[in-house]
Amino acid sequence: MKAIEVNSLSKTFGHLVAVDHISFEVEEGEIFAFLGANGAGKTTTIMMLATALNPTSGRATVCGHDIINDKNEVRKCIGIVFEEMSLDVRLTARENLDFHARMYHLDRKTRQERVSQVLNLVGLRSKQDMLVKHYSGGMQRRLEVARGMLNYPRVLFLDEPTLGLDVQTRRMLWDYAKKLNRESGTTILLTTHYVEEADYLCDRVAILEQGKIVVVDTPEGLKNSLGGSLVSIRLSQGSARDMAKWLKEVSWVKKISQHDSQLDLSVKAGGTKIPQIVKLAKEHGFAISSVSQRKPSLEDAFLHHVGKRLKDE
């Protein structure tokens, strides 16, 4: 059984289309990410799947339960960490978690066991009796992750889980998420606009732009879609747009992205092609000021797909 199945799901607010007929599946035990800029529709999608928002059209199931007709069953099998902090800062960490566990009608013994377990997992056992208002931002985020895990969810939703955190704390939370996924088999669906977060954590990534899914693939698959090498060229003479036009006719140039006076060419064995690029540019009256080669990154893939979609529109 799929952990999440979504078919043509949409959400509109008046004339604003926040989510536009998206379809995708998430396997049990998978870490899946929505990668996109602010306003791409990531949070709205998670809120629908978590039954906090009703979709305008389409359907979806979480753990086999329909998000409209079986809301209570969906809520029993999920955990969620919201983008905005929702802790009671006037309570201690243990009191926050105990209160949340009571909402799931857990008995006293079970509550105590699970609260201790999740505090250990996120490294806050020694700070469990400190008021949350004295926690750092990173500690508060870790506590929210712990709270989302209290009911041993089959699916955990993380909405921008590391937003605003420093690099060290961000990496710590990534490792907690991987540990949770590995040890308990929890399926994780996260939203992020940090490309490196999606690359480090996820089995598959869906790139969202203006409410639509542009592409879904593994991080490696997205990188490989740009070819074996990315050759970046800066011109000191001639138009990058004009150069891109005739480069499209070159058989070994797989994809071309233009950014002002810079061209990024996706090619196979880019190092061997650089002399040919320089020669062709000179023959066509272009002067190259700099050229470099590197392996494509997930950020390159993101910019390629989002830029192509915006250009088509």
> Which DSSP category does 82 fall into?
-
- Rg of the chain taking only CA atoms, in angstroms: 23
Quick check: do 4-218 and 227-295 share a fold?
no
User: What pLDDT score was predicted for residue 150?
Assistant: 87
Q: Under CATH, what is the fold of the domain 227-295?
A: Alpha-Beta Plaits (3.30.70)
In terms of pTM, does the model score above 0.75?
yes
User: Residue 140's closest CA among 180, 98, 81?
Assistant: 81
User: What pLDDT score was predicted for residue 269?
Assistant: 62
Contact (Cβ atoms closer than 8 angstroms) between residue 179 and residue 168:
no
Contact (Cβ atoms closer than 8 angstroms) between residue 159 and residue 2:
no
For 106-112, what is the mean pLDDT?
92
Residue 54 burial (CB count, 10 A): 11
For 212, the 3-state DSSP assignment is strand
User: What pLDDT score was predicted for residue 310?
Assistant: 42
User: What pLDDT score was predicted for residue 205?
Assistant: 97
User: What pLDDT score was predicted for residue 121?
Assistant: 79
Which band of pLDDT confidence, cut at 50, 70 and 90, is reported for residue 313?
very low
Specify whether domain 4-218 bears CATH 3.40.605.10: no
**Distance, CA of 267 to CA of 256 (rounded, Å):** 9
pLDDT 10s digits, 282-301: 888 888 888 888 888 899 88
* Domains of the chain, residue spans: 4-218, 227-295
pLDDT 10s digits, 241-290: 888 887 887 877 877 877 777 888 887 765 677 888 888 888 888 888 88
- DSSP H helical ranges for 3-121: 42-49, 71-76, 93-103, 108-121
For residue 245, the number of C-alpha atoms closer than 13 Å in the C-beta half-sphere is 6
Mean pLDDT computed over every residue of the chain: 89
User: What pLDDT score was predicted for residue 312?
Assistant: 44
User: What pLDDT score was predicted for residue 270?
Assistant: 58
Contact (Cβ atoms closer than 8 angstroms) between residue 262 and residue 303:
no
233: enclosing H helix or E strand: strand 229-237
pLDDT 10s digits, 145-157: 889 888 889 999 9
The token pair at 119 is 């505090």
Q: Which residues contact 129 (CB under 8 A, 6 or more apart)?
A: 92, 93, 94
